[in-house]
Amino acid sequence: MINGIRIKRVKEKKLKKCKRKVCTIQTDGGFVKHLSIARKGMPASFLWGILGLASVLIIIFFGCENGAALSDILKLCVLSIVLLLLIIFYISSQQEKVKKLPYFYPIFMLIYIGSFFLIMITKERPEITLWISGGLLTAMLFHMYLGYILTLNFIIFASFYSGLEPEFIIYLLILGTFMCLLSNYMKKISTLGYAAVVVLSMQLILIFIVNNFILKNTLTIAAFYSLISSLLSIGFSYGGYSYYGNRTGSTLKNPVPDGAAAMYDNLNETYDMEEILDLEFPLLQRLKQYSMKVYKHSLLIGELSQKAAKAVGADENKAKAGGLYHEIGRMENKEYVVRGLN
């Protein structure tokens, strides 16, 4: 709802969970604007250093445990650092966006180290690809491209560490790419099941192809482990995404199409009442594109609300704004919009 008091209560509650400082500004139109200011933490360079050191220590530990040659351990350490530098380069290029993401660095570090650790302990069972959940969760929480880059890095490292066959590497590349592309559909419980079925179906086809179209070689315990790993990865990623959203209040339940991303980015700014009531306002235009029926209905309710507020001596502008945006949440589910208006 577009209501100053309501927004204030909701935002303060969410920001309290985030342990972030809040600055409240009263605009001329009567709206309350909250600016969350992240508390200063450790420098990013220091965190990257910790991440690189942790990766090297994990490699050395497992290398010594498995009796690997010193040269092999050294190659893996150098490879992990090079791959990490590629990720750092990409994140540095997206610094402005990263600053707006609550807890980005500690969460990314946990995802990276956790996935790295899973690769090391599943060396003898490469079909157990639980580590792929790291890239998928990153794609869901932060950005699809970052998740995809992380997945590629893990696949490259796993290929060197476990000595994977070329066919299996291609299999992992397709599986990881497919999961990241479907990450937006895994953010909602209504489409999570469909996405999981699509991934598992595609995975079965890939396993069938890798085994030279021989059904007997496809229906094995290794294939079962692979399918279960993907299912667990999807479930874990959805759980992590939901928990992050509940803790920070910063994740969108409805994936935003690329063409409309700019509209939502602009909504983080402060607007006065005149701008919000303008029919060219980005959010109203988004509603118009989504459903003309809902858009016309909202305009009608906005006019009626304004007249009702005038009759009782209430704030006409706030009443009209409430009417204009009272259906805005229906964009989250197209079927719900149809059922609600028919």
Do residues 26 and 32 touch, judged by C-beta distance below 8 A?
yes
If one compares 255 and 230, the residue with the highest pLDDT of the two is 230
Q: What is the pLDDT of residues 94-153, one digit of tens each?
A: 877 777 778 888 899 899 999 988 988 988 888 899 999 999 999 998 888 899 999 998
Q: What is the pLDDT of residues 272-281, one digit of tens each?
A: 787 788 888 8
Q: What is the pLDDT of residues 3-44, one digit of tens each?
A: 443 444 434 444 444 444 434 333 333 333 333 333 445 556
Residue whose C-alpha is closest to residue 141's, from 229, 235, 243:
243
Q: What is the pLDDT of residues 261-307, one digit of tens each?
A: 444 444 445 667 877 888 888 788 878 877 888 888 889 998 999 99
Do residues 276 and 321 touch, judged by C-beta distance below 8 A?
yes
Do residues 179 and 233 touch, judged by C-beta distance below 8 A?
yes
Task: Report how far residue 326's alpha carbon sits from residue 303's, in angstroms, rounded to the nearest whole number.
Answer: 12
pTM to 2 decimals? 0.61
Task: Report how far residue 54's alpha carbon sits from residue 39's, in angstroms, rounded to the nearest whole number.
Answer: 25
Residues 6+ apart with CB under 8 A from 187: 140, 238, 241, 251, 252, 253, 254, 255
Tokens of 279: 């029919």
Question: What pLDDT is stored for residue 246 in this prediction?
Answer: 80
Q: What is the pLDDT of residues 205-230, one digit of tens each?
A: 988 888 888 888 788 898 899 999 99
* Position 234 confidence tier, pLDDT thresholds 50, 70, 90: very high
Question: What pLDDT is stored for residue 173 in this prediction?
Answer: 92
Tokens of 151: 């997945």
Strand partners, 21: 37
Task: Report how far residue 96's alpha carbon sits from residue 76's, in angstroms, rounded to the nearest whole number.
Answer: 32
Most confident of 53-62, 249-258, 272-281: 53-62
Q: What is the pLDDT of residues 309-322, one digit of tens each?
A: 888 888 888 889 88
Residue whose C-alpha is closest to residue 8's, from 25, 180, 17, 18:
25
